[in-house]
Amino acid sequence: MKDLHIDGVWTDAGTHSDVLNPATGQVIEQVAEAGREEVDAAVRAARRAFDQGPWRQTTATERGELLRRTADLLVRDREELARTESLDTGKTLSEGRIDIDDVTNVFRYYADLAGKDAGRLVDAGSASVVSRIVHEPVGVCALIAPWNYPLLQMSWKVAPALAAGNTVVLKPSEVTPLTTIKLVALLEEAGTPPGVVNLLLGPGHVGAAMVEHPAVDLVSFTGGYATGEKIMTAAAKGVRRVALELGGKNPNVVFADADYDTALDYALMAAFVHSGQVCSAGARLIIQDEIHDRFVADLAARADRIRVGDGLDPATETGPLVSAQHRAKVEGYIQGAIEAGATLRAGGGRPEGAEYESGFFLRPTVFSDCTRDMAVVREEVFGPVVTVERFTDEAGAIALANDTEYGLAGAVWTSDASRAQRAAGALRHGTVWINDYHPYLPQAEWGGFGRSGIGRELGPSGLAEYQESKHVYQNIDPVPQHWFKG
């Protein structure tokens, strides 16, 4: 099985691992796992391609054309990719199709953006001086993506990195590697030169070896906070650049004057899409007193009716968790919430029936009577669990929403336009939705405050993460200044 891609060659390694379908627990495929030798070879290939290969001489327009060709190939293979993403992650096929469309849009956005940044002129105060700021690639980039949106999150990294002119070494999660393997094949088909895009597979020690490699200039990582801290520590040696997206504990604030039915519908979507395995999930529902009891009752009743099942079944509304280990972690949070005094209003266990016995399913779960000292409220559960808190007035809502070490995303539901803008301005979160939840745009920056990370993906800032700024100062007509006598 030749799943590793190093210096333009698909290759094998001595170790292999199983990739499971979360809906059945069955093996989908076996893939190769890299060791330190393969990590070193991939990074050195990327280094050579950046320092010596033809990629360094490509224009931004040529790189944009390559990304555009890749987008066309993604459209061609949309159904295959969506099905593979569903099999690999457990999400519904309809979600998989949305993901592939979003990946395509990201590649097209950076294809268009690549050739538009010609730098800027700086007024040096002299007619004989031309002073300009230009942007150049950082160099070799280690790109490490998570398991919940494997292809989408990788596209947020690889598209701007290539648009800027870098070379890359990719590592998807060992749990969900299959669509990234396909993406590298499409990039090769689109005409990427050898060594520009390299692919490594394997668990955390592979990523650690990438981060520690002295020839890596930048590390972009999406994943957990603890791993992000370790990456920052490792990257400090050699003062390498890092871009980190480390999740969130996201508030969804509903005022009493909000459109009730719409807010309820979106609260379910915010919490339970992809079984809550979303960094921006609306896992903290914060409801005003006047509607709290009714809202919780309706939320719980609707949650109990969500159809859990295999993502390839058209009737399925949300799929399984990604692995048995992750389900056990989420179940630990549920048990801890019950012991801490939260009231279980829906879910809390595994669905019953023969069709659920082999997969990693968990019912959508709603807790009320939650307080800030509970781990289920403070920590990122990353599963189909929503906690409900209540507030009396606007100041209390903002205080609750900001009472978190994270700051990735949040939402405000109200019919008062002034209140909506006040709340959006007061929330310390990187994305704030007003009367909506979950949409993102390739042209709008994504990232968080506090423990949610450092740096931004998407938008112009997502390209800037992969660029160095250089000042070029040219004296057109230099004359002797006679600084020293003699």
How far is C-alpha 472 from the chain's CA centre?
35
Find out whether 204 and 227 touch, Cβ atoms under 8 Å: yes
Does 465 participate in catalysis according to the annotation?
Answer: no
Helix ranges restricted to H, 309-393: 324-340, 375-378
Nearest CA-CA partner of 162 in 223, 238, 110, 240: 110
Q: Are strands 467-475 and 129-137 parallel, antiparallel or unpaired?
A: antiparallel
252: which strand partners?
285, 411
Compute the distance between CA of residue 58 and CA of residue 195 in angstroms, rounded to an integer: 14
Compute the distance between CA of residue 167 and CA of residue 414 in angstroms, rounded to an integer: 46
Q: Which of 33, 141, 188, 279 is catalytic?
A: 279
Which residue has tokens 């598209």?
Answer: 159
| Strand order across the beta sheet in which 140-144 lies | 9-11, 4-6, 197-199, 167-171, 140-144, 218-222, 241-245, 453-454
Find out whether 160 and 110 touch, Cβ atoms under 8 Å: yes
Find out whether 67 and 217 touch, Cβ atoms under 8 Å: no
467: its two tokens: 């660029």
Find out whether 196 and 140 touch, Cβ atoms under 8 Å: no
Does 141 participate in catalysis according to the annotation?
Answer: no
Q: Which residues are catalytic?
A: 245, 279
